[in-house]
Amino acid sequence: MPELPDLVVFAENLSRQFTGERIVEAVWHGRGGRVSPSAEELPRALVGRTISGVERWGKEICFLLDNGQRFCVHLMLSGRFILAPTGKHPHSAILTLGLERGTLTIQDPKGLVSVTLDPPPRNVPDALETNAELLQRLLAARPKMGIKAFLIDQTILRGIGNAYADEILWKARIHPRSITGKIPGEALHSFAGAVHAVLDGAAERIRREHPSIIGGEVRDFLAVHNPSRQLSPTGHPIRVETVSSKKTYFTDEQILYE
């Protein structure tokens, strides 16, 4: 499952590639996936529209349409975008969008992808809006959660998944079992800084190393949430435990606030 930095680059590349293209066909394959408002409505809403841009919205990729509507795709666990020659329908295709110069398919072997036309606005900040004051406010509002559960809760802050939560907590030197309300105010600047350093840095790296990526995920450079590493970049052994019901990678460099 791609996470926020992957999605940032996907959106850039999809936008570059498809802005200005008209949708000539939309086929819902009916073999899984969730669609709102309905599979019948979808082609009527999409076909004939021109894509005026593509952007990341939390963990979703949204196609902006020329009539002001937004068509958003959540890739969930195993969804991915695929470019195929016009008319081709790859395996486990959920939705195929025929465009003027090619076919964009959303594929998902697990069939969990969710697509939504004009999703309701969410009153939840995006992870890239993070700063110390915002963190302070969000932490104060939920003072007795595990910090790991807090970071990946999309109703609190949008965009961070399991892998990057570990990366951020390691960068901030905060133990994943720490309690939200116990993290001292003095730590919040470096915490907020870690959010940006990790997410922006990862997006920049993916952008540089995979300039036209629109699918899959790039994880090989992660510092601790990385099964191929035994030691953190600073040489401390990486532990793997279940924290807040999630597989969690961390080291003893991280301070436990509880």
Interface residue list for DNA (CB under 7 A): 1, 3, 32, 34, 58-59, 74, 76-78, 111-112, 114, 142-146, 149, 152, 154, 161-163, 180, 244-247
For residues 75 and 99, which CB has a smaller minimum distance to DNA in the complex? 75
CA gap 202, 3 in Å, rounded: 10
CA gap 226, 246 in Å, rounded: 14
CB of 98 to DNA, least distance (A): 26
CB of 62 to DNA, least distance (A): 14
CB of 48 to DNA, least distance (A): 28
CB of 104 to DNA, least distance (A): 21
CB of 146 to DNA, least distance (A): 4
Residue 131's Cβ-count burial label (10 Å; 0-12, 13-18, 19+) is: middle
For residues 69 and 78, which CB has a smaller minimum distance to DNA in the complex? 78
Q: What residues contact 201, with CB distance under 8 A and at least 6 apart? A: none
Could you tell me if 36 and 20 are in contact, meaning their C-beta atoms sit under 8 angstroms apart? no
For residues 77 and 231, which CB has a smaller minimum distance to DNA in the complex? 77
Q: What residues contact 80, with CB distance under 8 A and at least 6 apart? A: 2, 106, 107, 108, 215, 216
For residues 16 and 182, which CB has a smaller minimum distance to DNA in the complex? 182
For residues 70 and 142, which CB has a smaller minimum distance to DNA in the complex? 142
For residues 99 and 113, which CB has a smaller minimum distance to DNA in the complex? 113
CA gap 46, 25 in Å, rounded: 8
Could you tell me if 2 and 53 are in contact, meaning their C-beta atoms sit under 8 angstroms apart? no
CB of 143 to DNA, least distance (A): 6
Could you tell me the two tokens for 59? 């963990």
CA gap 33, 127 in Å, rounded: 26
